[in-house]
Amino acid sequence: MKKLLTLFFCLCALGAHAQDPNFYIFLCFGQSNMEGAARPEAQDLKSPGPRFLWMPAVDYPATDKLPARKMGEWTEAIPPLCRPNTGLTPADWFGRTLVASLPENIKIGVIHVAIGGIDIKGFLPDSISAYIKKAPGWMKGMLEAYNNNPYERLVTLAKKAQKDGVIKGILMHQGETNTGDPKWAGMVKQVYDNLCSDLKLKPEDVNLYAGNIVQAGGKGVCIGCKKQIDELPLTLHTSQVISSDDCTNGPDRLHFDAAGYRELGCRYGEAVARFLGYEPKRPHIDMPKRIEVPADAVTAETAIPGNEFPKVDKEHRAYFRIQAPQARKVVVDICSKKYDMQPDGKGGFMAVTDPLPVGFHYYFMNIDGVNFIDPASETFFGCNRESGGIEIPEGPEGDYYRPQQGIAHGQVRSIYYHSPNSKFGEWRHALVYTPAEYELAKNAKKRYPVLYLQHGMGEGETSWAIQGKMQHIMDNAIASGEAVPMLVVMESGDIKQPFGGGNNQAGRSEYGATFYPVLLNDLIPYIDANFRTKSDRENRAMAGLSWGGHQTFDVVLQNLDKFAWLGTFSGAIFGLDVKTAYNGVFANADEFNKKIHYMYMNWGSDDFIKSGDIVKQLRELGIKVDSSESAGTGHEFLTWRRGLHEFIPHLFKK
């Protein structure tokens, strides 16, 4: 019998759930800053290991990264600790700080119940029913997650947790909703007393740690609450206030940002460690990499006025900055390279590039996989859409495309014209440059030659005027006498949309070919009818960059009765057999040279489209073609600005 009793008690002992005195449990409650309003970053999502556990107060569904987690079951403390879709909280780095500060045989557990915007009455059993009836609609779902009684949920789980470990403290972050309420401290004491009574806690062993509010340098939305929190120990002597001095915040000045939650959480942990008799040790926190902006860096001319960034330094490095407090990863994509932007811990991100080539460059930012335009940048149509852009300035050698004082300036006019031949709508848009003298009364009857100037694939009718600075190039060249006064017409050319495939060898184009009948039958007649032009072929030129150069070859070489001047800049001309192309237009060099008074082709030394071979083949046939290679530039607007500048002095002169 004695042996049977011994066996029975052994079996009971094995079945019993033994409380671990080295498992320290902390209750966390409050409103939105305890709930967590900042998106966890990569370092927050790394598991702190089995020494920091968390008992969820609600069920968590499975995600692509984590399995489902059940209410009331201990699991490793990985955010969000409050409810699914909440954020980083002070409890996250509170637990990590205790793990770093306390002996390795001690585990830390947290139970977390918080509701954004909740009044302290929401944690008083006698007040919760009345409070729920008056709660705003946006809060009702959060209350329902705790079965409309957050205090009861906290106590129920705490009693379950006491079977596993020992409650060592209570963390609170609440007060913003009760700013200025003289009864707040007394109600906090009532919540604390209720917890101690219901959980049979000794107040002298279990402090209440109350975190202070967002200060935002004295401009916090609830800054008036700071004093009442600081004075809480006058009402509740077992409370300790956790300072929020210099804890960084989000742009709403109501919630901390991720860095602020980390700092405040560490301070909670340090206070508890000291109370427990241990020297606090902070866990490793990845600090943002500080990007130093040199004093010589200046705001880019392409920035929207009022913005400090983007900036460019004397080494041609570009500096970008953006506020994106909810972002996990931000990238800036420029000049075929992507740069990870570094968080500054205050909701901002910064990046610095390698030295960039001088000239204009499109760029995009990317937040969590989605491209967008830098809100600090002027927009430029390119890459088949509106884009950000930055100008990396040249020295004085770039003055030819900058506006100059002391000279007359022309105009760039916006026109709409009717086009029955258009595939993309009968009303079309174009820009027309008129030289300064066009407006003078003495020239009221004077007529002018016309250059039809096309942009490249994925750009628009505004590209030459804005990115290419065409107006300034024309004004300066005309003022200096390098170029004769002329009109310049710029149209979309039906190549704004992405390349659609098909046959696009020279003379057999599909992409952008819908523009050809529009140009010949609608646009040219409109310009000649509405502007004072010289409307014969001798006074009409066409040129284009990239695919606009392709279009120029297609149009001019098949319509020599309408054009006598031809230019391409990085012309996208493929599959060209110079002996047979365009019905053998180059076969009779003498005849061609009589009809085309000047032919010019340029490209960049680093360009992926070069015309050197075509130029060589044409010259071998006896075709007169001028050419140049832009030193140090690629397939970009600086190449094309240089090309236009070199091309126009030769136009309409014999």
Pairing outcome for strands 318-323 and 311-312: antiparallel
Three-state DSSP class for residue 298: strand
The packing angle between helices 150-161 and 184-198, to 10°, is 40
Q: What is the pLDDT of residues 571-590, one digit of tens each?
A: 999 888 999 999 999 999 99
Q: What is the mean pLDDT of residues 336-344?
A: 88
594: pLDDT strictly greater than 90: yes
Active site residues per annotation: 32, 252, 255
Per DSSP, 448 falls in state B
Separation between Cα atoms, residue 372 and residue 363, nearest integer Å:
9
Tell me which range, 10-24, 379-393, 636-650, is most confidently predicted by mean pLDDT: 636-650
Report the pLDDT value the prediction gives residue 17, as an integer from 0 to 100.
Answer: 58
CA distances from 609 to 216, 507, 569 (A): 54, 18, 10
Report the pLDDT value the prediction gives residue 325, as an integer from 0 to 100.
Answer: 76
Three-state DSSP class for residue 493: coil
Contact assessment for residue 570 and residue 603, using Cβ atoms and an 8 Å cutoff: yes
10: pLDDT strictly greater than 60: no
Q: What is the pLDDT of residues 24-46, one digit of tens each?
A: 999 999 999 999 999 898 889 98
Confidence tier at 2 by pLDDT (50, 70, 90):
very low
Whether this prediction's pTM lies above 0.75 is answered by no
Report the pLDDT value the prediction gives residue 345, as an integer from 0 to 100.
Answer: 66
Q: What is the mean pLDDT of residues 384-413?
A: 95
Angle value at C-alpha 523, between 518 and 528, nearest 5 degrees:
150
15: pLDDT strictly greater than 50: no
Confidence tier at 1 by pLDDT (50, 70, 90):
very low
Residues 6+ apart with CB under 8 A from 129: none
Least confidently predicted of 15-29, 86-100, 240-254? 15-29
Three-state DSSP class for residue 267: helix
Residues 6+ apart with CB under 8 A from 432: 412, 413, 415, 487, 488, 489, 490, 527, 531
Which amino acid type is present at position 127? S
299: pLDDT strictly greater than 50: yes
Q: What is the pLDDT of residues 492-540, one digit of tens each?
A: 999 988 887 777 777 778 889 999 999 999 999 999 999 999 999 999 9
What is the percentage of the chain residues whose pLDDT exceeds 70?
96
Q: What is the pLDDT of residues 254-287, one digit of tens each?
A: 999 899 999 999 999 999 999 999 999 999 887 6
516-555 CB burial, b ≥16 within 10 A, e <16: bebbeebbbebbbeebebbbebebbbbbbbbbbbbbbbbb
Q: What is the mean pLDDT of residues 460-488?
A: 97
**Encoded tokens for 392:** 């990396």
Q: What is the pLDDT of residues 438-458, one digit of tens each?
A: 999 999 999 999 999 999 999
Separation between Cα atoms, residue 129 and residue 425, nearest integer Å:
64
245: pLDDT strictly greater than 60: yes
Task: Give me Rg for the CA atoms of the chain.
Answer: 36
Q: What is the pLDDT of residues 360-377, one digit of tens each?
A: 999 999 998 899 999 999
Confidence tier at 654 by pLDDT (50, 70, 90):
confident
Query: Hey, how many other C-beta atoms are within 10 angstroms of the C-beta on 201?
Result: 20
Report the pLDDT value the prediction gives residue 288, as an integer from 0 to 100.
Answer: 64
Q: How would DSSP label each residue in 165-188? A: SEEEEEEEE--GGGTT-TTHHHHH
Report the pLDDT value the prediction gives residue 329, as an integer from 0 to 100.
Answer: 84
Separation between Cα atoms, residue 379 and residue 16, nearest integer Å:
70
Report the pLDDT value the prediction gives residue 63, as an integer from 0 to 100.
Answer: 87
Three-state DSSP class for residue 24: strand
Report the pLDDT value the prediction gives residue 21, as an integer from 0 to 100.
Answer: 97
Report the pLDDT value the prediction gives residue 500, as an integer from 0 to 100.
Answer: 73
Q: What is the mean pLDDT of residues 106-115?
A: 98
Which amino acid type is present at position 399? D
Locus of tokens 């009044």: 119
Report the pLDDT value the prediction gives residue 11, as an integer from 0 to 100.
Answer: 34
**Encoded tokens for 621:** 């046939």
